[in-house]
Each structure stands twice: as structure tokens, then as C-alpha cells.
Amino acid sequence: MVGQGIANCWWKPLPLRYTVCLVRNWEARSRTNARVCWAFLGVLMQNFIMPIIALIGGVASLWIDPKDQKKRWLFIFGLVFTAILTIIFNYSNSKAKELQLERVNTEKAQTRQILLNITQNVQAVVDKIDVLTSLGFTENKAAAASDVQISSALQANELYSSSLGRLPGAALQDIQVQYSPENVNGARVISSINNSGMHVVVKPPANAMATNCIWAGDKVTPAQVKIVAYALMRAGVEVKAIRRFKDGTGDKQRVIEVGAAPDLVNKQALSPDQIAAKLGIDPPVSNPS
């Protein structure tokens, strides 16, 4: 406020500028110190002035002639006026203390709410990481997961569970899944596929491309390959296509292979709903890379 008063009068003539600046600075200081001065006067009135006046009044009462009405009423008026001032100052101090107490309580409540929000946010992050890592996310990937990724993973998890309930274990036991885990909790993903009844064979990665495609042999049904897709998607893997092998006969007729197709690198990932809505498996475009 004081600095603002000086800054706003630089353009005036020097004598007027000096005078205006002094006045503005005095007003700023006055507004800043008004409450402090008022509280100080209240304390001074209560603890010093009133006791002194009471003492003086007591001593003066010994010397005032009771028959002198003018002096007696003047003395009474002084006492009453001083008492009224004391009441006003005390009331003002009381209200100021109430406001200060209310402000302190408000600040405490706001601080508690801030701490509660921080605790809840931290707990929410911890819970999110725990849930996603249980589905196959790595901790770093789980911590950075967006709302869309979380929703997709949870939806894929529900579809994974419901799909297993509809397929008998015998229908999955002779399916081999060839997979090279990357950027996921490999043990979790492999376990979820093995628990379905299929058998995972871990193979070394063919290249540095991220997993984006699933290939299936001629004897693999859409329902069977969807279970693998859901197991991958709930771990945060972006599945962009499900295709047949160019040659899905012989040893590959009951094989599902997870890998990367170069032509899908810039394609958008499929959602769990889109996988669920598929009635068949896409025709071959390329062999796994």
C-alpha cells in the first residue's frame, strides 16, 4: 500500500508530489495500524486509565463539597463518560478477539481439509497403482496411467472374467500362446493366460516395436483369442488388430501369437468393447514380426 502510494504520484510537480506522497503514505499507515491502535487503547483504558481515574475519583470525592451540585455532577459525568469509553473499548476488543478466533478456526479447518484432501489423493494413487499392477501393469506405467487407460483396463478385466465363465476349460487346454512380455508385468500376464487353461510359450522379441497385434491359427475361435486380447489389454497393452496367420495350418492351427505388425504402428488401439463386438478374426495381412 505504501509503495503504491509513492508509485501513483511520480508524475506530479515536485512540491505537490512530495505533499501528496506524504499524505497517501500516512493514510496507508493509518489504515494498517488503526486496528492495532484501537486494541492498544482498549488495553490501556482497561488496565491503566480506569484504575487511575478511579483512584483520582476516590481521592477527589474526599475534597468535593457534597453541597456543590455543579462539581458533584461534573465529577459523576467524568466517571460515567470514562466507564462508557471503557465499555466501548472492551466490546470492540471482544469482537476483535471473536473475529480473530473465528479466523483462526477457519484457517485450522481449511488446513485440516487440505491435509485430508492430500491424504485422500495419495491413497487414491496408491489404490490405483495396486489395482493396475494386480492386472499386469508395471508400477511406473500404473502411476502414469490416464483415466482412459484405467477405464479400458478395468473393462477388459471384466470381459476377461466373463469370457472365462462362458468357455469350458477343455476348449482352451490345447491352445498354445507364443508371447514375449514387454512393458508389462510379464509374470502377471502369463499367469492370467495360463490360468485360463491355455499354455504360454515365452519367445524372444523379434524387434523393438511395441506389441500391437494378435495372430491366430485356423483352428482358434474368436472366443479363444479374445481371452488373450483381454488379458493383454487389462495389463495396458494396446491391441490394434486380431488377424489370422497367412498360413494357419499344420503346427500353427491351434497357436495364438502375440507380436507387432509394422503397418499398425500409427493405427488407433481397439477398445475392449470393439474386441467384444468382433464376430470373427480379421484376414491375414502380414506374419508376426
pLDDT in tens, 47-86: 666 667 666 666 665 555 555 566 666 666 666 766 776 7
Question: Taking the domains of the chain in order of start, what are their residue ranges?
Answer: 2-113, 146-277
Average pLDDT, the chain: 77
Length reported for the chain: 289
The contacts of residue 246 (CB under 8 Å, 6+ apart) are: 284, 286, 287
% of the chain with per-residue pLDDT over 70: 60
How confident is the model over 21-47, as pLDDT tens digits? Answer: 555 555 555 554 555 565 566 666 666
Q: What residues have CB less than 8 Å from 192, skipping those under 6 apart?
A: 136, 160, 231, 234, 235
**pTM (whole model) above 0.85:** no
Measured in Å, how far apart are the chain's first and last C-alpha atoms?
Answer: 70
